[in-house]
Structure 1
Amino acid sequence: MTVRLPWHRLSTPAVLRPAAPRLGTRLNHRILALTVRNFRTLTDVKLPMGPLTVMVGPNAAGKSNVLHALNFLGDVSREGIEPALNTHGGFDVLAFRGGPRPVSRISVGIEGIWSDFASEDEPDRYELSIDRRRLPEGSRQSHTMYRRERFTQHPLEGVETTVGLTNDALTVDSPLEADHPCGTAKIGRLSSALQGDRALPLHRDSPSARAIGNVRHHLARIRVFDPDVRLARKPWGISESGGHLRSDAANLADFLRGLKEDGDAWELLVEDVRKVVPQIRNIHLVDPPGLVSHRTAVELEENGLRGRTRLAEASWGTVRILCMLAIFHDPNPPLLTCIEEIDHGIHPHALSLMAERLREASERSQYLVTTHSPVFVSELEPEEFVPCERGPNGASVIPARRLKDLREVIEESEYEPMGNLWYSGSLGGAL
């Protein structure tokens, strides 16, 4: 069944210690790959994504742009296409600026499993393309923009359905009667089906509508974690937001309060802090004096010192370590958490434990991170390692080596630590 309606009628490694009871197992829903075209330096990238994916490469290779592309999709699902474009600087900022002529289309998409019968061999897909066309001379505006969206899902065994949105039509290709459009709705040329159930004239409980809802839910909760140590040091008001650590870690104190109420997760966190910062004997959550009630502050009990050290007085690296360990012990993580320069400000001897905790966390949720640390790379498995490079034409090459080639280099080196091989340039992604 294909229905086309005009817009005017439509509105790996084993876990090394027991996890806290609330952590459970990794979600069945997951992203298998990210595809990007003409988005900043990502002209034609398909990045396979497992439970843990670590991008490694020189500065300006495009690693951050991968995170920006995912964050852009998250902003589209939370705010809509036009607000997301404005937040990220507009089409001209996002579009690839290499080559002889400006590009007229950017595309970002994901492959994954979010409908009941999707699999790695037959994944679900979502792609958003934004086109910008020049208008004839004399027009009130120089350009016009419109979007294309396409959803592919597998709601029943042996059944694939698609929902497509273009500038002037909705197309539903499905053998299921429940997927037949109902009623009418008016949808603008830059509206997105990710914006809510009312964006499409589909029954809310139809198989395709449920699958699209799953995509919307997970993209909206993508977390690009970039702790602001200055904000994380401050007390925070006690609220329901404590169950979710903000992307800038501003509510760290409140999040830690929630972990302490959980019990087991808190004890594991404190144990890890003691291992990587041996000077810390304990962590206390207190009501800060002189401030309004219902706020939480963090104080550290340190060996050899009288009294306690307020987090506002702790070292930059100590605060960042606490932020990172907190995110790894999050009992309710989103589908995907992105972390840039995970090793930044952390002593090399602590990176082994950080990698171990990150891998444990990836049993419950996906993680996409970047690093410049050979020590951290040595803790990875080949399938977790993604070398990134930048070509002479200004475009990123991600991955810069096939997994098969990486395994061959490692085998030929007689299993030299991957960090050493990467630093020497043998695995790609080097200067």
Structure 2
Amino acid sequence: MTVRLPWHRLSTSAVLRPAAPRLGTRLNHRILGLTVRNFRTLTDVKLPLGALTVMVGPNAAGKSNVLHALKFLGDVARKGIEPAVDTRGGFDVLAFRGGAKPVSRISIGVTGIWSGFASAGDPDRYELTINRPRLPERARERYTTYRGERLFQHPSADAPTSVELTRDQLFVTDAGNAEPLTLVASSGRMVSALQHPSPLPDGSPSAEAIAAVSRHLQQIRVFDPDVRAARQPSPISGEGRHLDDNAANLADFLKTLYEIRDQEQDGRRVIWENLLRDVRTVIPNIEDIHLVDVPERSDYISVELEESGLRGRTRLKDASFGTVRLLCLLAVFHDPNPPLLTCIEEIDHGIHPHALELLAGRLREASRRAQFLVTTHSPAFVNELTPEEFVVCERDRDGSSIIPAYTTDEVRERIEASEGMPIGELWFANALGGGL
């Protein structure tokens, strides 16, 4: 059945069956895996994602590109495909530049749980492709560019549905319809269903699934603290309940954590107490953290550190790089309401090795509230991981990334063969990759 309606004009609820009551709907939305083809060095990557995933490997192995691929999907959901591509330099910059011929397709997909009856064994799937085939010599333009999107979901028991968006058409396969539904989409070949209003009826299973995936992807953040910005006073605002991706509003966010009281524990500031205890553990000379108004700027707040043996307080703008970065990371790990997925590159950067054990423990605790994907070069940090949390990244001779380079079972086998040597030591000894 084909319905020829513009993108915005489909309103009849008779086209698709209404959403059935979703008894047993799962609220624990999460991403279970990432699939990437021809995005920078990621030519064929299938990466499982758990609550905590830590990638290791030499420089230029592709670890950062994994984070960038996820951030790219988040930007598509927030801004659209073309802005996400353009801000990264265009198709030629994003596409894999190895091989005999230029690639004509980039694809990034995620599996996860978004609809009511999806599960780890039978997950939902979303995939975005950006196609740029070369046109015949006589054509006015050298290339044409268009997107493709596919979404497979489980809105009801034993009744999966799918949505496929091609150049100008939207195909919907629903268990309640005898044949697929085809809609003519007239909003352009690079419009994403994640970012643009859906032409599907409000309340339909497919429309709800697209909205759930979009909300999840919009929450992906790559946390990369800018220590210089984090040192500065920050304006007090309602946005302080979320820490910026670059931690520029650190003072305001710390104020938010300080003001949270636990009613089950007599109104104590439990989160703040735990944060302060961790800071004292890894930086013993810090006795207290003070949040103070900025003179002549009543709408700004700053951070000052009370240190043992010193008169007065140390302004955060005068604190060491490692102290500020550690405070940024601990603030993230103590966030009671984090984004659904946080990526952190080189989590060990600027951190004393003896502090990494505590950071690993707090990161694992935080992963009970949300997912974390991080990279590291520190064997000491890797020593704190389990085989399920550990991913080795390597680079092939053709310039493409091999991720993961070892399966979880292979990691366990290497550990057993070494008679229980810690993972970080095995990796550093080149028994699990690790070489340059």
User: TM-score if structure 1 supplies the norm length?
Assistant: 0.92
What whole-Å deviation, never above 9, does each CA across 1:195-242 have from its counterpart, x for those lacking one? 14x2x2212211121111111001011010000000000111111110
C-alpha distance in structure 1 between counterparts of 2:118 and 2:231, whole Å: 43
C-alpha distance in structure 1 between counterparts of 2:211 and 2:181, whole Å: 16
> Which amino acid in structure 2 is aligned with residue 353 of structure 1?
L
Q: Which residue does the alignment assign to 1:278?
A: 284
2:386 maps to 1:389: no
The counterpart of 2:251, out of the listed 241, 253, 273, is 253
2:383 maps to 1:378: yes
Once the two structures are TM-superposed, the CA of residue 258 in structure 1 deviates from its matched residue by 0.5
Once the two structures are TM-superposed, the CA of residue 327 in structure 1 deviates from its matched residue by 0.5
C-alpha distance in structure 1 between counterparts of 2:51 and 2:76, whole Å: 24
Q: Which residue does the alignment assign to 1:316?
A: 321
Could you say what secondary structure the match of 1:287 adopts?
Answer: strand
Q: Is the 8 A contact 2:251 2:291 kept in 1?
A: yes
Query: Superposed, which structure 2 residues align to 1:43-62 within 5 Å?
Result: 43-62=43-62
Q: Which residue does the alignment assign to 2:340?
A: 335
2:227 maps to 1:229: yes
> Which amino acid in structure 1 is aligned with residue 247 of structure 2?
A
C-alpha distance in structure 1 between counterparts of 2:176 and 2:302, whole Å: 55
Once the two structures are TM-superposed, the CA of residue 138 in structure 1 deviates from its matched residue by 4.8
C-alpha distance in structure 2 between counterparts of 1:392 and 1:191, whole Å: 36
C-alpha distance in structure 2 between counterparts of 1:423 and 1:123, whole Å: 35
Q: Is the 8 A contact 1:27 1:335 kept in 2?
A: no
C-alpha distance in structure 1 between counterparts of 2:182 and 2:168, whole Å: 18
2:187 maps to 1:187: yes
C-alpha distance in structure 2 between counterparts of 1:344 and 1:372, whole Å: 9
Query: Which piece of structure 1 moves more, 204-213 or 59-68?
Result: 204-213
Once the two structures are TM-superposed, the CA of residue 183 in structure 1 deviates from its matched residue by 9.3
C-alpha distance in structure 1 between counterparts of 2:40 and 2:183, whole Å: 39
Query: Which piece of structure 1 moves more, 205-214 or 99-108?
Result: 205-214
Q: Which runs of 5+ in 1 are unaligned?
A: 12-25
C-alpha distance in structure 1 between counterparts of 2:336 and 2:140, whole Å: 53
Query: Which piece of structure 1 moves more, 200-209 or 326-335?
Result: 200-209
Once the two structures are TM-superposed, the CA of residue 5 in structure 1 deviates from its matched residue by 4.9
**Count of residues in Structure 1 that have an aligned counterpart in Structure 2:** 410
Q: Which residue does the alignment assign to 1:155?
A: 155
Could you say what secondary structure the match of 1:213 adopts?
Answer: helix
Could you say what secondary structure the match of 1:294 adopts?
Answer: strand
C-alpha distance in structure 1 between counterparts of 2:101 and 2:234, whole Å: 49
Q: Is the 8 A contact 1:226 1:249 kept in 2?
A: yes
Once the two structures are TM-superposed, the CA of residue 410 in structure 1 deviates from its matched residue by 0.3
Q: Is the 8 A contact 1:57 1:372 kept in 2?
A: yes
Could you say what secondary structure the match of 1:367 adopts?
Answer: strand
Once the two structures are TM-superposed, the CA of residue 137 in structure 1 deviates from its matched residue by 3.2
C-alpha distance in structure 1 between counterparts of 2:27 and 2:257, whole Å: 21
2:297 maps to 1:299: no
Query: Superposed, which structure 2 residues align to 1:412-423 within 5 Å?
Result: 412-423=417-428
Q: Which residue does the alignment assign to 2:32?
A: 32
Q: Is the 8 A contact 2:3 2:182 kept in 1?
A: no
What whole-Å deviation, never above 9, does each CA across 1:48-82 have from its counterpart, x for those lacking one? 00000000000000000000100100010010000
Query: Superposed, which structure 2 residues align to 1:85-234 within 5 Å?
Result: 85-176=85-176, 186-196=186-196, 198=197, 200-234=198-232
Q: Is the 8 A contact 2:226 2:247 kept in 1?
A: yes
C-alpha distance in structure 2 between counterparts of 1:141 and 1:307, whole Å: 68
| Backbone CA RMSD of aligned residues | 1.8
Q: Which runs of 5+ in 2 are unaligned?
A: 9-25, 261-268
Q: Is the 8 A contact 2:171 2:181 kept in 1?
A: no
**Identity percentage of aligned residues:** 64
Q: Which residue does the alignment assign to 2:20?
A: none
Q: Which residue does the alignment assign to 1:10?
A: 7
Could you say what secondary structure the match of 2:132 adopts?
Answer: strand
